[in-house]
Structure 1
Amino acid sequence: MKKVVFSAILACLCVFSIQAQDEETTNDDFSKWQARFRIISVIPSVDDDIEGADVDIATAFVPEFDFTYFFNRNLAAELILATTKHDVEIEDGADLGHVWLLPPTLNLQYHFYADDFKPYVGAGINYTMFYGVDEGDFEDIDYENAIGFSLQAGLDYNLNEKWFLNLDIKKMFLKTDVTVDTGSGELEAEVDINPLVVGLGVGMKF
């Protein structure tokens, strides 16, 4: 399902970019700032190096805010702000409690124009902070803050000159080193989280 949605977005981007290139833009006016409010689904794609055990990190649904600054009509930078709480466990095994993630992300974007549609693609960097850890069945769990990268594709649809709807998909490449105090010793593991982030919301130009 995730591959189908992402492929559909990429196909739309190709169609709109071709259409936009065929139309000359006669109006050079544009809003330098935009803000969006989205509801996002954060879907981890987990992998780990723990022999004989698989870590499972639950999907989370949270609000997200972002701010976009346009250098010109096409090139922009977007700062994404959201925090998510995820339940963590060993599949068919121990409870690892939960952890909060705060991954402020800065993406550089390129925007296309086709009437009231504005598709865009982007790529960037994030720094993920882990906090509010509940250890579940263990004495202590430590998650190391980490730098990651992101890819992005999305679509804005203008409702009027000020307001627009937004669909956004991001793939985050993120891993962390985890240290678990089992009470009888420490277990260290590298865990790939690599979430897919799907968001739907509304934006405002100003």
Structure 2
Amino acid sequence: MNTKIFAAAAVAALACAGVAQAQDFAPKAKGDIMLNVRITDVAPQGTDPITTLAGAATGLRADASYDVMPTIGLTYFFTDNIAAEVIAGTTNHSVKAKGPGVDLKIKETWVLPPIVSLQYHFAPQSRVSPYVGAGINYMLFYSGEDKNGFALKIKDGFGTALQAGVDVALQGKWSLNLDAKKVFFDTKAVDNINGVKTKVTLDPWVLSAGFGYRF
């Protein structure tokens, strides 16, 4: 997980808040539509055992890499405090089989993980406005490329997400945004050719930093 980048962005947000004190800003309000453009780190957390199709242990575990890509978030404010957000972006991940003396890439795959969340904004009239949210996501795996003789099929599916973030108003309707989501998602992956399967617990942290504009 790229926590150093996220920490640096947090420091930058505080600095921007200090610089912005003398500038006018528009508070959040009912009916606003906010567009956030962010740099996002998607960091899967799970390492699940790989077994045979019959369930026997292989001594290997499945591990998915992280990726950093741009994402877009669109938020609509139903009231000054309550809003809904949808985010879209796509990331590329390597799936490896790891074990004693083994570090073997078995698949490269793209993932489209849109997340829809309902948010509560604590201080919409303030320059520094934190929020929390909860929602659902769908993991769609596409354009996969198998590696080293494997033929791994990963099942798409739904997950849930928790969210926390802060908007730091800059000038006018511009703001700096820091956002952290924890997605809870697991699925199954099967390789019928090699006779192995694994539960895939991704449970990624989705850490973002970027700029927003309200219409």
TM-score (norm 2): 0.79
Q: Which residue of 2 aligns with 1:37?
A: 37
Q: Which residue of 2 aligns with 1:178?
A: 189
1:127 equivalenced with 2:138 (yes/no) = yes
For residues 1-206 of structure 1, what are the structure 2 equivalents within 5 Å? 29-50=29-50, 51=57, 52-91=59-98, 92-113=102-123, 115-181=126-192, 183=193, 185-206=194-215
Alpha-carbon distance, 1:176 to partner: 1.4
Quote the RMSD (CA, aligned, Å): 2.1
Unmatched 5+ residue regions in structure 2? 11-26, 51-56
Distance 1:193 1:152 in 2: 17
Which whole-Å deviations, capped at 9, do the CAs of 1:11-56 have from their partners, x for residues lacking one? xxxxxxxxxxxxxxxx895452101000011111013142311212
SS of the equivalent of 2:60 reads coil
Unmatched 5+ residue regions in structure 1? 10-26
Alpha-carbon distance, 1:188 to partner: 2.0
Identity score, percent? 36
Alpha-carbon distance, 1:132 to partner: 1.0
Structure with more relative contact order (C-alpha pairs < 8 Å, separation 6 or more): 2
Kept in 1, the 8 Å contact 2:69–2:90? The answer is yes
Letter in 2 for 1:134: E
Q: Single out whichever of 86-95 and 145-154 deviates more from structure 2.
A: 86-95
Which whole-Å deviations, capped at 9, do the CAs of 1:38-84 have from their partners, x for residues lacking one? 00111110131423112121110000001001100000000010110
